[in-house]
Structures are given as structure tokens and as C-alpha cells.
Structure 1
Amino acid sequence: MRVDEGWDGFWAQAPTAAESVFWDAPPEEVVARHLALFEPYLTADLPLVDAGCGNGTQTRHLGERHGVVVGVDLSPAAVELARRRPGGAEFEVLDLADGPAVAAFHERRGDCHVYLRGVLHQARPEERARIIDGVAALLGAAGRGFVVEPASAARETLAGLMRRPGGPPPSLAAVFAHGISPMEMPDEAVPALFAERGLAVLAAGRAPLATTVRDQEGARVELPSSWLVVGRTG
């Protein structure tokens, strides 16, 4: 099992107060919006995996609305943090790029639906295909994946936050302090990567991705993002 030191260090030191992590906006402004798009493709009898679950804020919301929900993350510190909070979800350490570990998970759980939010653009380019292989293995024949990634236009928003006169917001500065930074990823690369791994794009669209940062007027900063529903057909 590979443990990414940047992510594990980030979650080991992450503050636990509400909205103190950059992407940890309230679930009703994040996963609830996504669930409204994804729900038509869900079947209640399959487990739902929140891949890259972090501290589990969004996972617990899913757990209140779906049958079996499992949050997975490659960071043991994140999973430990998620397990400390009450809610209707399970949590496990799992690296989607670890083929044998993903296969063992699928052997125990069977085909799963997968919610993958903001994972690929944080992964090194050479890791993305392995992560998508992991998603494909979890989906099996019957599962559906809901994938959300910041769009290329989000780079401008992030750059503006980094250039704030008083310095970047602490929640964003903490991400970069641990060596975690978004990688360049053209919008068209996301569906292409899934198609290359044998998964069909069943639906796609654009939606804002909420953060915990506020602008000068007090409005929540949102990143432009793209979403896909993927799965096997036939």
C-alpha cells in the first residue's frame, strides 16, 4: 500500500473546525448538488464508494441517503479522522492505483458505484490511468461512476486567490504547504482517459464546485468544474 506523504501529512495536521479545509464546503453545497445529477444512474442495491473521501464530510451525507456507503482514501490519517465523526458510512484505507488492493476490495464488496471528486487533477499524470483502472475495477459490470474535476478555467480562480493582497486564504495555503498542487489537465482529457480504459461516458455537464473560501462580498468562491457519469454498457 502506497501512502502519499503529502496527503497524509496534510490530513494529520488538518484543522477539524467546520469549513477549515479548502474543499470541505457544506455537503448541501457540494455532494447534494452532485447527487441530484448522479441519482438517476444509481441502483440502491450496490454499495457507493466515495473515493478520495478525506475527512468524510461528503461521505456522511451520502450515507444518510444511500444504502451502503464506504469512504476510501490512500491517507491513513484521513481515514482515522473520518472514523472519529459519527455518521452512517464506513471508512477504509484504499489507494485506487493499487490494483491488488482494489481487486481485494471488489472481491469483498462486489460491483460498486463510485463518487470521484477532484482526485485526478491532484494526481501525477502517470498515475491517472492506474486510478481510472481502479475505478473501472470497482464498478465492474453494473456500477456507475460520477466524476467531478475542476475545469481548466478554475486555474484563473485559484491564481486570483493566491494573489490576494494579504496572501492566499489559509485553507489554500495549507494545501500548497504540503506539496499538493493541481496538475495541468485539459478538460477534454478527462472523458478521453475513461474511454481509453473501456468506460463509456453516459452523461456529462458543467457545475460549480464550492470551496470554503469567501470573496470580499462574503459570497462563497466556487470553481468551474466538469462532471461525467461513466460505466460499462452492453
Structure 2
Amino acid sequence: MTVSDRYRTAWDGFWEQDSGEPGEPFWDADPALTARRDLDHLAPYADHTLPVADLGCGNGTQTRFLATRFAHAVGVDLSAAAVAHARRGDPDGVAAYEQLNLADPVQVGTLHERIGDANVYMRAVLHQSDPEDRPAVAAAVARLVGTQGRALVLEPTNEAKEVIAAIAAQPGGPSPKLRRVKEHDLRPGEVAEGEVATLLRTAGLTVIDEGTTSLAMSETRLDGSPVELPGRWFIAGRL
């Protein structure tokens, strides 16, 4: 299975016009507000001697932080331009980065054969995936965790669209970061209530824990505070 040409072209176009600097994309918040906080949910369940796979790693901002908490970190992204940014942003090689199509079970299987069972960090990927690709993405998570790993999956809820709409309606209109998202046809889709848990269970995983969260963006409000999108987190694995 392969992702749609529209999806691949949209992401390649976005990252090709990005500098690769942390914080430039709308969602690329400092790890202190994202991965560091997110790992509080995963830590009680994960074996930190296993590697961690950052799915949809983009320019590697979160991957580099994850590498400080696990034995080895690998970031994967559909876009070759994103992977190139991640590698340039990590001259010391604290993590590895690969181009990978999560909807392709052969590519995912090859990665699993190479790194073994792994923990998975996947932040706001499913809602950006075309609906027909979501079962394959969930299956990729299941393949990578194997029998020993644990996955942390975070997704914005439908209420996040209201927050984004309010930001776009601020005086002066959408910010440059939001405009870039729209210009490159990155269309966030709705993930229905219960859909993430259903996708994970259908892929053969048990949802071990879940809860509400806020997903910090690199975008700020007029008062300088970070934009945060309502979201949910899920810990999944095989028991």
C-alpha cells in the first residue's frame, strides 16, 4: 500500500520550503512542552532499554530529545526533505533518521527486523493521514512495538479545529505559520471520538491507558503564550 500522491506531494512541498529550523512549523514546539511532558504518560509502561521510533518525525526536534531518554532513537518520515532537515539538525548523530511510508507494511517490517521491538512515539499523525491509510498506520505501530514495546499515540480532538479557527480569526488574519499549512494543502482531518482506540485494537494492540492532554504548538497567542490544542493520549501494547 502507498499513500496518495496528493498527500506525499503536499508534505514534500511543505518541507522543501522549510528551513528545517526548530519552531518554524506550526506544530514544532520546544520538546520541553511536548516530548518531555508526553513521556510522563509512557514512562511507567516502557522498557527504556528498547529503542524508540518517532513516527512522523519531521525535522527531528522531538527525536533528538527522545534520544536522551532511550537506548536508541530513530525518526521516520514520509518526506525525504523532512528527513534531510532532521539529519542536518543533528550533526552529532544522537539519533537516526529514515524516509519511510507508514502505510507500506514491507518498509515497516524491514525497519522492525533491523531495530527489533521498539517503543513508539506518534504525535498528531493519524489526523493528518488520509482516512483510508489510518488502519495501515495503526498496523505499523503494532508491528514496531512487537511483543515488548509500548506505544504513545497522541491526537488532537475535534475541538482543536475550533481553537485553530479562533487563531486564524485574530486581528491581521492567519499567522504565517498557519498560512503555510493551508498553502501546502495540509488538511487536518477529523478523528472521530473513539477512532484512535478502535484503530489500535483492530491492529492487535491493547489500550493500556489513556487520558486527556493539550498538544502545544510553536504558534503563540497575542499574549505570547503557546497555542495548545485539546487532545487525547493512548498507551498501547501487547499484554
Match of 1:157 in 2: 163
Question: Given that residues 167 and 221 in structure 2 are in contact (C-alpha distance below 8 angstroms), is that contact kept between their aligned partners in structure 1?
Answer: no
Match of 1:177 in 2: 183
Match of 1:76 in 2: 80
Question: Given that residues 15 and 21 in structure 1 are in contact (C-alpha distance below 8 angstroms), is that contact kept between their aligned partners in structure 2?
Answer: no
1:211 is the counterpart of 2:211: no
Cα distance between partner residues in 2 of 1:97 and 1:214? 33
Residue 187 of structure 1: which of 185, 193, 197 is its match?
A: 193
1:145 is the counterpart of 2:138: no
Unaligned runs of 5+ in 1: none
Unaligned runs of 5+ in 2: none
Cα distance between partner residues in 2 of 1:16 and 1:137? 29
Alpha-carbon shift at residue 166 of structure 1 (Å): 1.0
1:44 is the counterpart of 2:48: yes
Alpha-carbon shift at residue 15 of structure 1 (Å): 3.0
Residue 58 of structure 2: which of 35, 54, 59 is its match?
A: 54
Question: Given that residues 203 and 228 in structure 1 are in contact (C-alpha distance below 8 angstroms), is that contact kept between their aligned partners in structure 2?
Answer: yes
Change (3 A) 1:15 1:229: same
Amino acid at match of 1:201: V
Amino acid at match of 2:12: D
> What CA deviation, in whole Å up to 9, does each residue of 1:171-200 have, x standing for no partner?
111111111111121121111111122111
1:131 is the counterpart of 2:150: no
Structure 2 length normalisation: TM-score? 0.93
Matched residues, number: 233
Match of 2:123 in 1: 117
Alpha-carbon shift at residue 45 of structure 1 (Å): 2.5
> What CA deviation, in whole Å up to 9, does each residue of 1:95-144 have, x standing for no partner?
11111111111111111111010000001110000111111111111111
Match of 2:37 in 1: 33
Match of 2:26 in 1: 22
Amino acid at match of 1:109: I
Q: What is the aligned-residue RMSD (CA, Å)?
A: 1.3
User: Secondary structure at the residue paired with 1:173?
Assistant: helix
Cα distance between partner residues in 2 of 1:48 and 1:92? 13
Alpha-carbon shift at residue 164 of structure 1 (Å): 2.4
Cα distance between partner residues in 2 of 1:82 and 1:91? 7
User: Secondary structure at the residue paired with 1:24?
Assistant: coil
Residue 166 of structure 1: which of 166, 172, 194 is its match?
A: 172
Cα distance between partner residues in 2 of 1:75 and 1:217? 34
Match of 1:6 in 2: 10
Question: Given that residues 187 and 226 in structure 1 are in contact (C-alpha distance below 8 angstroms), is that contact kept between their aligned partners in structure 2?
Answer: no
User: Secondary structure at the residue paired with 1:64?
Assistant: coil
Amino acid at match of 2:206: A
User: Secondary structure at the residue paired with 2:43?
Assistant: helix
